[in-house]
Structure 1
Amino acid sequence: MHRFSARIRLLRGSVFAVSIFLAGTGTFVTTRPAFALSELQQIQRQQSQDKAVDHPPADSAAQAETPPDEGERRLQLPLPDPLIRKDAAEQQAVEPVTEKNVSEPEAPVEVLYDIDKAPAPVRRMRELIVEAAASGDMERLRPLLGKGQTQTQVSVAEGDDDPVTTLKGLSGDSEGIEILAILLDVLATGFVRVDAGTPNEMYVWPYFAEKSLDALSPPERVELLRIVTAGDFADMQEFGGYNFYRVGIAPDGQWKFFVAGD
């Protein structure tokens, strides 16, 4: 600071001495007052800006704009890295298409409500099951459940247990009335034909077993909630599919299964 003041005083003294000398020789020179260092810097900055305006760069017109002053530049926050600013949508847009990230659209499921569209043996078996379940007597299901190799699957676990006994054990009451009611509700919904034209062809109730729960229309959700509770439906959505009771009847009329689960 002392050096800076000394230089200013020296500069002013020099100017004063030159003025006296010129006055003594009869020559009059108009002198300008001395400028402080900060004023000189401002003048130099202004001259640089004027030169930039007079000779703008040819490659970019945007560079001809006057840059913000130092105070405004200090108040601006730095922009985040471009990789951080890039959102997920942009990343997905530039993601290369591969076999792993391309999924085939799910085939539409044809839901049937007209039982006449099913083969006669299927219609007959469904009718017999409905009559037996509506009677409230679980034993009336026994002749329909079959025996040996043709026995109806009533549990996800394989075994030789008596099917009627198994169904009663799954019911909330000792007589199996709850299971009979569920059986009626399931057979009252629409149905689907699966694996058509193959040895595994089957007519399945309810159609929810073969349709995405996310694709259900409001009326279809009402139909589903006639079978399960709203809490059950939420659990199924988390599970990823319908996992309550379902009925399967083969084209020849054999009652293949009445089970709960995936």
Structure 2
Amino acid sequence: MRLTFALLAALALAGCGTGADDAAAPEPVTVTVTETQAETETAPPEPEVDCSTAGVRRTLPEQDLPDPVAEVRDAIFAAALACDYDELERLALELGDGFTFTYGGGTSAADHWRELEEAGTDGPMRVLVTILSLPYTRNETGSYAWPTAYQESPSQADWQALVDVGLHTQDEVDTMKEQGTGYLGYRTAITADGDWQFFVAGD
């Protein structure tokens, strides 16, 4: 009797334990894991400012010039072709005799040219390499000047050369001729001893 009761009690406890376990068992849960890749935001690159001489494949024709003039002309041409404003300013100030780059305000030729290039209007570097490739003239002080339209009485050929190389339109040339102002476009000059005097436009 005592054994039977003990056996029954054990079976009852086993049944209760099984029921408790079944009641407590959680239902299966399906977990979906989605792998996402975080996007890294990067600042857009600064826009590159193209030099107006980009793509220009121009060689400097030899001219019958004194060695100091030829050397400075070559150096100016190379620096302008590379849009090396600082080197151009160094060449402009090398002899310390003064240099004219504008008739307005401004203390730095390099900054002035850089601003014009970034504005994308005048393209002074392209103009500089172009006029140095044209024939030269001698001005009243004996300096070597480019282009030949920059003289007291330019010929029709001198004016036409500006149109042919794309520096000015025919209308612009005609206006300067009709107004009697002479050539007011970009011009440059180097003294016989190699001092770069100016690269400027206007009057």
Q: CA deviation at 1:139?
A: 2.5
Q: Deviation above 3 Å: which 4+ runs of structure 1?
A: 174-177
Given the alignment of the two structures, is residue 167 of structure 1 paired with residue 108 of structure 2, yes or no?
no
Partner of 2:23: none
Report the RMSD for the aligned CA atoms in angstroms: 2.6
Partner of 2:133: 188
Where structure 2 has 5 or more consecutive residues not aligned to the other structure, the ranges are 1-60
1: distance between equivalents of 2:110 and 2:118? 14
The answer to whether the Cα contact below 8 Å between 1:192 and 1:210 also exists between their aligned partners in 2 is: yes
Q: CA deviation at 1:235?
A: 1.8
Q: 1:214-229 maps to which residues of 2 (within 5 A)?
A: 215-217=155-157, 220-225=158-163, 226=165, 227-229=167-169
TM-score norm. by structure 2 comes to 0.60
Q: CA deviation at 1:201?
A: 2.1
Percent identity, please: 27
Partner of 2:199: 258
Could you say if the C-alpha distance between residues 155 and 247 of structure 1 is closer, same or farther in structure 2, counting changes exceeding 3 Å? same
Q: Write the letter of the residue equivalent to 1:203.
A: Y
* Residue 239 of structure 1, aligned match among 148, 170, 179: 179
Partner of 1:125: 72
1: distance between equivalents of 2:200 and 2:187? 6
Where structure 1 has 5 or more consecutive residues not aligned to the other structure, the ranges are 1-112
Q: 1:37-52 maps to which residues of 2 (within 5 A)?
A: none
* Residue 141 of structure 1, aligned match among 88, 104, 107: 88
Q: Which has the larger radius of gyration?
A: 1
Q: 1:1-262 maps to which residues of 2 (within 5 A)?
A: 115-116=63-64, 118-146=65-93, 149-157=96-104, 161-169=107-115, 171=116, 173-174=118-119, 178-195=123-140, 200-210=141-151, 212-213=153-154, 215-217=155-157, 220-225=158-163, 226=165, 227-240=167-180, 241-262=182-203
- Structure with higher RCO (Cα < 8 A, 6+ apart): 2
Kindly indicate which of the two structures has a greater share of residues assigned to helix: 1
The answer to whether the Cα contact below 8 Å between 1:206 and 1:246 also exists between their aligned partners in 2 is: yes
Per-residue displacement from partner, 1:188-226 (whole Å, max 9, x unpaired)? 11111123xxxx32111001011535x313xx4442112
Partner of 2:36: none
The answer to whether the Cα contact below 8 Å between 1:136 and 1:177 also exists between their aligned partners in 2 is: no
Partner of 1:51: none
Q: How many residue pairs end up in the alignment?
A: 140
2: distance between equivalents of 1:176 and 1:251? 32
Per-residue displacement from partner, 1:46-101 (whole Å, max 9, x unpaired)? xxxxxxxxxxxxxxxxxxxxxxxxxxxxxxxxxxxxxxxxxxxxxxxxxxxxxxxx
